[in-house]
Structure 1
Amino acid sequence: MRIRTRAARHTTLTAVAATALAAGLLASTPGTGGAAGTSALASEPGTPRTVSAGWSIPWGLSWLPDGSALITERDSFKVFTLTQDGTKTEIGEVPDVVTTGGEGGLLSIAVSPSWKTDHYVYVMHTADEGNRIARLTFDGSTLGDYKVLVDGIKKNTYHNGGRIKFGPDGYLYATTGDARESDLAQDKNSLNGKILRMTPDGKPAPGNPFDSLIYSYGHRNPQGITWDAQGRLWEGELGNSKYDELNLIEPGENYGWPKCEGECSVSGMTNPKRQWPVAEASPSAVAYADGAIYMAALRGERLWRIPVDGTTAGTPKAYYTNDYGRLRTVESVPGTNSLWLTTTNADNNGDGGPGSDKVFQVDLK
């Protein structure tokens, strides 16, 4: 296994975190000492409380400045606002979205960090010609002004990736699947099997390692990204038949697929920080709170809590195993010590019908 220096990257991460804290983009987490802290709270998730019911495959979730959330439904192509008290309002349908009969459709959503002035929201979805990233305006009541920023990402029935989030550096990150063509993950001329990093206009972000949108490669089907209190990027990835992964992402690194699944000794590959048998996980989303990564599991039907200390991921612990079905999205609630958690039991792998999904709040105690 390759030995790599982290000094330069650590300096970059620290600078990014300091900038983000100054800009108010990254919260100082209680019990961690903010961006420089090393001790994590020993918090654990409490019993989920239903915020809203009657959903069908709620996939993406992003927060507005007023504390309400924008939530997408994968197969209806609709976007809703959901307030903390459970008021659900449809605000529009994203154009040009198609289903794939599997994992495609309207996937993730991300609110611009400058929404109060630009009113931009971003979506990732499946279209006729492939997966794409688009930008819309949201004026507080309706969606409009649809504009394609990135296309040319191959689609398939499965392995479409689909998570987009703004990082603490102000750039938009996106996860893409290998579209069931595993060799694409190693092909730096392809946008598939990658984590992408871009400006708010969809251009390669400054400092990207390959002078392209690509930030890291060798991914199979990543659907979860989050940043810890020091600005480090963590990623949850669905494996094939052996192992799902939690990875610590660094620019330009190769995360192994299809040559490796889980830990391996192949030269040039970056090993995961944690791995799980696929029956126990199939992670779709990850979120950071109180010194830990929370990972929502689909096939595993549980919420994993993985404490992190610097670049080390500690012993995972599972909650709610088989209690609520397939857990799709988890996000920390701004300004609180809580998480929002969504199910997708109405999809083709779940055991519910249309309208069977819920949004839960989980308080960390």
Structure 2
Amino acid sequence: MSRSRQLLQTLVGFDTTSRESNLQLIEFVRDYLAGFGVTSELVYNEERSKANLFASIGPLELAGIVLSGHTDVVPVDGQAWSVPPFELTERDGKLFGRGTADMKGYIACVLALVPELVKADLRRPVHIALSYDEEVGCLGVRSLLKVLEQRPLKPMLCIIGEPTGLKPVLGHKGKLAMRCDVHGEACHSAYAPYGVNAIEHAAELIGELGRIGQRLRDTRDARFDPPFSTVQTGVMSGGKALNIVPADCRFDFEIRALPSQDPGEVADQLKAYAEQQVLPRMQAVSAQSAIRFTELSAYPGLVTDECSQAAQLIADFSGSQEFGTVAFGTEGGLFDAAGIPTVVCGPGSMDQGHKPDEFVSVEQLDGCDEMLRRMYLSLSR
């Protein structure tokens, strides 16, 4: 078994579902790196129940390359797995387990390279960055980036190892997730006109959101699929009983915006519609009526120039000049916003991510080992 597969077996064994702590995995990586003389810096959350890890190998006086991955995985609840999700199972050239594709496979390959990195005479440093809570809004990496932004020398490239089939990706959409709470006035349904039906007014807002989404289709970018910004309502709840006019309703919606568009503008349009069109009619019946919007999570889009140094480097490492985009979001936009040129390239496919019997192929894992080996050889004297 290759070193990367051995490490993947260990990493999959840690249940790092976002609702759980990732400290066991982080402490394993810290100790693993320490065994090769590499010091790790941990950046904890406020409760100290989770941590980011940052470690550097090689000379620090020049800009280097960051190999970045998130340690958390999505839940397995309610999924019909044919293998234990937190054990690595090999079958027909595939390695099954939660996080194998998204994205512990990449992390395993990065860690497998460490013995060679510490022996190499590197001209530039290689940095390892591991974060928490990416799956719930790219939360953890923000505190890590605050630490890195205080340093005088920024890396020349960050490779986010999300699963892209080892094809270099230079762009993805940004995302804004919002919650809307609509508060009306309850009464007996026989006297419905004397109440304020929160569900009906929430539905009116959702209808307006759909109309905004239709207008977004006018701005297109053929590099993305779909080639326009999108909105959708994913969760809605409200009401107590059929014969009671509901006083409260809540719905969650998201905007996935092209990098050239600000998703906040969509939220602002909906807020303006709520304040100018919906709320006055609600308050005409009950002055206590209210509509509140709360941001749940957000991350910026990513668009890296095909002619940039970052694009050329990942083309050299991956062996492909065919740049693409992905529909899902990553932490790449946050690294890029922090002044660190960023690309996305990693083993496996998101078609397998977040599903039962998630897997990464042995071929993809071996290919990632080769890509990272080409990277470190390019940095060696």
Where on the TM-score scale, by shorter chain, does this alignment land: which range? under 0.3
TM-score (norm 1): 0.24
Structure with bigger helix share is 2
Structure with bigger strand share is 1
TM-score (norm 2): 0.24
